[in-house]
Structure formats: structure tokens, C-alpha cells
Amino acid sequence: MNSRLPLRILFCSTALLSAAPVHAAERRDVNYDEAKVNMAPLPDPLVLNSGKPVTSSRAWTKQRRPEVLELFQANVYGRSPGKPKGMKFEITGLDHLALDGLATRKEITVWFTGKKDGPKMTILLYVPNGAKKPVPAFLGLNFYGNHTVDSDPGITLSTAWMRDNKDAGVVNGRATDKSRGFQTSRWQIEKVVRRGYATATIYYGDLEPDHADGWKTGLRAALSKDGANTLWKPDDWGAIGAWAWGLSRALDYLETDKDINAKQVAVHGHSRLGKTSLWAGASDERFAIVISNDSGEGGAALTRRDFGETTAIITKAFPHWFCPRYATYASNAPTLPVDQHELIALMAPRPVYIASATEDQWADPRGEFLSGKNAEPVYALFKKAGLGVADQPAADHPVGNFIGYHLRTGKHDITEFDWEQYLNFADRHFGKAKK
């Protein structure tokens, strides 16, 4: 198992986006032996800070949920601002006959402060032409620009900064035509549209470039009165907070689009963007379904489990993802007042889906499953069935009702198999499943 880690670090396409490398010594120290996992007890989501037990869904919603959310804001992801005043949406691209007539393609520029020289993002949205409106939708951030999610030549090529990557067709910090459709298999746009869903995406670098100084030219500086000179407090937002905030602003737009049923939007993401979709779903309850694909440490995986990536590693390699206080737990994760099962619990009673992959041991598949398992008591308060299994299922056997889970055979990626499960899950919960 150990031999897989260096491969994962070197060849995982999203890891190529990484800022600081993980040192060889740290890689050697990583634990991949289940027998050596010595996990400190998890915090109980159903005990109030005062020590009193939580015994009803009402007490969860009114008392405990706000406490848990506050603990994540103060210690892990930081505090994000609300909806900005004066935000403007502009349809900057429209084609009713995209994908050979299958869908309407819209490109929407969001001016966060309403100012055209201020921060902005571009949403790419496909709406199925054949479906009765309004339709449910999937929404997620992408790693390399909207033009990479499908080879549709009508998608505007991103002009935002991105890290050079020959395979992705990124040269001198900018995308080239070569990168069109680079991530088609990860997005399955036609499949999603044929199933009757709209699908929307935004390049995460529109919100904040993914490196330690990225915030200086991103959203966080743009919205701060001290701009690039801001001195961040221990509980200020990190990049995950900024990316998740962008997803909420996209949902603000979707609420205005008559083609979309904004009460049926599933937010999803892969890897660091899976951490982001979880935080978006936790902090914005308008998201009706939350999906995490191979999100790992700081995402679905339990922090207290010493398996694969650890808090020490992630806060060293990617300090900018979290609030500054998170790094203070680097060498003593068990003192964190929360763990990631409580992040999953913040979705309750909404449906949440966690996906892992067999060759993605770095992300700790079992730890991802166990955070779902340990969120079940909160779902039970709402009389919602969780995973429906006592232990992690065999590979390629999806399980779960309100907490969905699968372990896919293969590597750190999003595949057609993953999408098939997300579509079935959404069909079931949005009432589209065949009777």
C-alpha cells in the first residue's frame, strides 16, 4: 500500500496543482496499516457544549447544529461573509442548440460587487431542452476552466490564471485551445443532461487562485477593506471558504433562473473541491443534496484517524485552504473540538453522498465511510435512515438511503460509475426515480 503514495503525489492530476511538496520523510511516515490506527474517541455530535444531551431533531436544529457550525467556522474553515450587496448577473453567452440540440448553454457572468472592474466569476450552465421546466440541477467547481468540462467549442475559453500543466494545455499561466474537453470524463455533461438535469460549473480559480498567495489576487482580498495587505485572524476564511462562497453565489443566480428548480440543487466536488462542496452544503442549507467525491483529509475523512494524509501534512502543504487556527492542530488533531462526521451531520436531514476509491488510500476511504457512519445518530433524530449497513461495503456496491456511500474500484478520480450513483441518488431524493 505504501508504494502507492508517491505515485499519488506525483501523478494525480489535481495534485499537480499543489503548492508545497510533501517531503519524502513525511511520505515515509504516513500510516497505511489499519492495524496501527489508534483513534482517539470522536466528539459526540449529540452532546451540547454545556454537556447536556440532544434528544430531538428540534434541539439539534435550534441548539446543537449552530454550535457545531460555529466550531467548524472557528477552527477549520473560518468565517465567510454573507451575500454581497449590489451583486449583478449578466448572461454573456447563450445557445439554444448546444450539444447537437440536446441542451441550452448559458454563460452567466456574476459581478460580485456589481462593479465591472471588481471580482467576478463565470457560470457555465447546460439546461436539457427536452425536459419539463423547471429542472433540478447539479452544481460544482472545476479545476481547469469551464472549457475543460466538455469539448463543446462554444464554451468560452477561460482567461483566468492557472498553474502550467502540459497535459491540461495550460501554458504560461493561461489555458490554450488544447485544454478544451480535458476533463470531459469527469463531468459527463451529456449523460447528466440526458437524465433530465441541468448542470452548472465554475472554474475555482475565478474565485481564488490555488496557492498560498492566491488570496491576494482573489476574492478574499477583493472583499476585504485592507485588500492584499489584510492580516488574517485565526478564524478568518481560507480558500475552501472562498470557493464554497462562490458556490452559494451561483445558487443565488440559479434561484433567479426560471429553467431551474433551485430547491433541487445538488452541490458536488472532487478532492479539494469535495472538501469545498461539503463546506458549501454545511454552511448553506439551500443545497438540497451534498456530494463529496474522494474528498479525504479536511473533507469526509475522519481527522482523528491516523491513516493516509494527516492534519500535519495538509496544513503544511496547503495552509491557505483553511482558517489560520486549523494549523495549530497540526500535531494534535485529537484536541480539535470537532471531527468530520459532524460536518456530515450538518447536512441532516438533507441527503448526503460520500464516495471513495480503492486506490485512493491517501484520502482514507474507510475514514470517509466512518464519518458517514458516525453521522447516523443525527439523521436518526429526523427518522432518516443513514447508510443501512454496519460496515464499509465491498468495492462497487453502493449503499445508503439519506447517507449514500460507495467505494469505487480504481484511482483518485470521478468516473462514469460515480456519476451513475449520483444520478440515481438524485433521482431517488428528487422524486424522479421510476416507480
Q: Which residues belong to the active site? A: 271, 412
> Total residues at the site for ligand GTR (CB under 6 A)?
10
Which is nearer to ligand GTR, 18 or 156 (by Cβ)? Answer: 18
- Binding status of residue 272 toward ligand GTR by CB under 6 A: yes
Which is nearer to ligand GTR, 14 or 61 (by Cβ)? Answer: 14
Q: How far is the CB of 313 from ligand GTR (least distance, A)?
A: 7
Match 482580498 to its residue by C-alpha cell. 221
For residue 48, what are the CA distances in angstroms to 44, 233, 296? Answer: 9, 26, 27
- Binding status of residue 148 toward ligand GTR by CB under 6 A: no
- Binding status of residue 277 toward ligand GTR by CB under 6 A: no
- Binding status of residue 16 toward ligand GTR by CB under 6 A: no
- Binding status of residue 376 toward ligand GTR by CB under 6 A: no
Taking a C-beta distance cutoff of 8 angstroms, is the pair 373, 400 a contact? Answer: no
- Binding status of residue 342 toward ligand GTR by CB under 6 A: no
Q: How far is the CB of 233 from ligand GTR (least distance, A)?
A: 24
Specify the stretch interacting with ligand GTR by CB under 6 A; choose among 10-18, 62-70, 231-239, 338-346.
Answer: 10-18
Residues 287-316 vs ligand GTR: string with x where CB under 6 A? ---------xx-----------x----x--
Specify the stretch interacting with ligand GTR by CB under 6 A; choose among 12-20, 23-31, 226-234, 333-341.
Answer: 12-20
**Number of neighbours of residue 38 by Cβ within 10 angstroms:** 9
Which is nearer to ligand GTR, 126 or 362 (by Cβ)? Answer: 362
Q: How far is the CB of 362 from ligand GTR (least distance, A)?
A: 7
C-alpha span between 170 and 179 (Å, rounded): 7
Q: How far is the CB of 12 from ligand GTR (least distance, A)?
A: 6
- Return left, alpha or beta for 260; rule: phi > 0 is left, psi -120 to 50 is alpha, else beta: beta
Residues 314-333 vs ligand GTR: string with x where CB under 6 A? x-------------------
H/E run at residue 136: strand 135-142
Taking a C-beta distance cutoff of 8 angstroms, is the pair 251, 265 a contact? Answer: yes
- Binding status of residue 15 toward ligand GTR by CB under 6 A: yes
- Binding status of residue 142 toward ligand GTR by CB under 6 A: no
Which is nearer to ligand GTR, 18 or 113 (by Cβ)? Answer: 18
Which is nearer to ligand GTR, 257 or 360 (by Cβ)? Answer: 360
Specify the stretch interacting with ligand GTR by CB under 6 A; choose among 13-21, 72-80, 344-352, 377-385.
Answer: 13-21
Taking a C-beta distance cutoff of 8 angstroms, is the pair 144, 179 a contact? Answer: yes
Taking a C-beta distance cutoff of 8 angstroms, is the pair 374, 341 a contact? Answer: yes
C-alpha span between 181 and 150 (Å, rounded): 4
Which is nearer to ligand GTR, 152 or 297 (by Cβ)? Answer: 297
- Binding status of residue 165 toward ligand GTR by CB under 6 A: no
What are the helix and strand counts (H, E) for the chain? 15, 11
Taking a C-beta distance cutoff of 8 angstroms, is the pair 302, 39 a contact? Answer: yes
Taking a C-beta distance cutoff of 8 angstroms, is the pair 200, 108 a contact? Answer: no
C-alpha span between 154 and 146 (Å, rounded): 11
C-alpha span between 407 and 27 (Å, rounded): 24
Cα atoms found within 13 Å of the Cα of residue 19, Cβ hemisphere only: 17
Which is nearer to ligand GTR, 104 or 311 (by Cβ)? Answer: 311
Which is nearer to ligand GTR, 287 or 318 (by Cβ)? Answer: 318
Query: Which residues have a Cβ under 8 Å from the Cβ of 225 and sit 6 or more positions away?
Result: none
- Binding status of residue 371 toward ligand GTR by CB under 6 A: no
Helix (H, G, I), strand (E, B) or coil at 371: helix
Q: How far is the CB of 429 from ligand GTR (least distance, A)?
A: 26
- Binding status of residue 18 toward ligand GTR by CB under 6 A: yes
Task: Give which of 368, 337, 347, 374 is closest to 282, Cα–Cα.
Answer: 347
Summarize as ranges the residues that interact with ligand GTR (CB under 6 A). Answer: 12, 14-15, 18, 271-272, 296-297, 309, 314
